[in-house]
Structure formats: structure tokens, C-alpha cells
Amino acid sequence: DTAVSQTPKYLVTQMGNDKSIKCEQNLGHDTMYWYKQDSKKFLKIMFSYNNKELIINETVPNRFSPKSPDKAHLNLHINSLELGDSAVYFCASSQDSMTMGAFFGQGTRLTVV
Amino acid sequence: EDQVTQSPEALRLQEGESSSLNCSYTVSGLRGLFWYRQDPGKGPEFLFTLYSAGEEKEKERLKATLTKKESFLHITAPKPEDSATYLCAVRGGTSYGKLTFGQGTILTVHP
């Protein structure tokens, strides 16, 4: 069973389009995250939700909007896509937001052309 | 602001040649230092959590250690399947759970 699953794995789209990435975890964790990995493999947090409540919102353009319908799901919607949005986006979850490590999904490679 | 710096950026070893990766950090109230392994096209895979200076964790050929300013990931007699990017991350006391990552060390083990 996949612990943290993201869909789609690959996403190629044109500039200006709107797209969504979905994430689900079956670990029963309370906290979920979105991270962005750039071309240099540097991972940086974007958002974090704890029990459906937004607790971290880093300096991310407001074209990016996370939504957590329940604590097992955290989706990422991106409006008006730009070339610079091309990256790998990782969803992750953890049991205790303050002490445990996070478990990551396999990533969504977004390419904006 | 929490910061993590990993060195070297890339490391090439012969099979059986032991070495260490370094992770230097600054954090306000360390709530955990984490090591991950990432294979190409995959998400980071959790390896270890260290919480306090002097702590050590081991898993197969890997051993992680922690001081107040840095962590080392020691690789003993590596095999080609240990080739991957190794990521270090910290969680601070005021970070609300977020992990701050270093840029990673790309390890290549030649047979």
C-alpha cells in the first residue's frame, strides 16, 4: 500500500493554464505538506496543514492555493502557470508536526511550456 | 532563520571505500535533525532522526551522528546500491513542523 500518493506523476501544460495536483495519505497522520524541489534538487516548503488548518504559508505566490478537504488529503491548485513554476512538487505527511520525520510522496514533475 | 549546509556537493567512492557526509546547521531550538535518501525520480526516503548532541543511529552500512552544530552520515564499505542523493534537514522549535533542507550530497559508488 502506498503511504503518500500524488497524482499525476507528470504534468506538462502551457503557460497561463490552471492545474491541480492531488495528494492522499493513508498513514493517519495529522499534518501534511507541500514542498517544491527546483532544478538544483533543493527542497523548500510551501505549505503545511495540521488537521485541515493551514499552519505554514511560506512566501509563495498567491497563484498557488492549497486545499485540505480532510486530514488525509491535501491538494494544490495553481492558477496562471508560469515557466518558473516548472519543478517537482512533493507532498508529505507526518504524525506529529513538531517531532517526527515526514514521509514523502513520489513527486509530481510539472513542466510549463 | 534555520539554515542547513551539506558538504561535499558530490562524492565518488569505490565500492568498499568508507567515507562521511557532513551536514552543518543553525537552528533555534532543535526539534530534530533528519537524514533522507533520494533516488532519481523518487521522493525522499526517511533514514534517521537525531534529537540531541551525542546521539547516534545506525542502519545497515549507514551511521548518523549529531553534535551541537553538525551531523555526519558515515558510510561503511559502501556498495553501488548506496548511490543516491542524501539530504539533511532540521526542524526548529518555532518552525511549526516544517523541515529546512540542505542542498544534498550526490553519492556515487563505483563497483
What is the mean predicted confidence (pLDDT) over B13-35?
A: 95
Question: Which of B62, B2, B76 has the alpha carbon at shortest distance from B32?
Answer: B2
Question: Which of A68, A93, A73, A58 has the alpha carbon at shortest distance from A24?
Answer: A73
Q: Do A101 and B46 lie within an 8 Å CB cutoff?
A: yes
| pLDDT over 80 (residue A100) | no
CA distance B18 to B12: 11
Q: Do B98 and A48 lie within an 8 Å CB cutoff?
A: yes
CA distance A113 to A27: 35
CA distance B19 to B37: 16
pLDDT value at position A40? 81
Q: Find the CB nearest B85 among A41, A58, A94.
A: A41
| pLDDT over 90 (residue A89) | yes
pLDDT tens digits, residue range B47-101?
A: 999 999 999 999 999 999 999 999 999 999 999 999 999 999 998 877 667 889 9
Question: Is A83 touching B (CB cutoff 8 A)?
Answer: no
Question: Is A13 touching B (CB cutoff 8 A)?
Answer: no
Cα–Cα distances in angstroms (integers) from residue A9 to residues A22, A25, B31, B71, in the given order: 10, 15, 32, 33
CB A86 within 8 A of CB A110: yes
CA distance B99 to B30: 11
pLDDT tens digits, residue range A18-74?
A: 999 999 999 999 899 999 999 888 899 999 998 888 888 887 899 999 999 998 999
Q: How would you class A14 by CB atoms within 10 Å of its CB: exposed for 0-12, middle for 13-18, buried for 19 or more?
A: exposed
Give the residue from chain A lying closest to B33, CA to CA: A101
CB B101 within 8 A of CB B87: yes
Question: Which of A25, A3, A4 has the alpha carbon at shortest distance from A71?
Answer: A25
Question: Is A39 touching B (CB cutoff 8 A)?
Answer: no
What are the cell numbers at B98? 516544517
Among A9, A31, A43, A99, which would you mutate to test the B interface (most chain B Cβ atoms within 10 Å of its Cβ)? A43
Name the DSSP class of B82.
Answer: G
Give the residue from chain A lying closest to B35, CA to CA: A101
Q: Find the CB nearest B103 among A42, A56, A92.
A: A42
| pLDDT over 90 (residue A108) | yes
Q: Find the CB nearest A43 among B31, B32, B87.
A: B87
Rounded to the nearest 10°, the torsion over CA B26, B28, B33, B35 is: -50
Q: Find the CB nearest B101 among A42, A58, A97.
A: A42
Strands annotated E in A4-106:
4-7, 10-13, 19-25, 31-37, 43-50, 53-57, 64-70, 73-78, 87-94, 103-104
CA distance A104 to A3: 8
Question: Which of B57, B18, B8 has the alpha carbon at shortest distance from B35?
Answer: B57
Q: How near does any CA of chain B get to the CA of A30, in Å?
A: 11
Distance linking the first and last C-alpha atoms of chain B = 41
Q: Which residues of B touch A53 (CB under 8 A)?
A: none
pLDDT value at position A99? 61
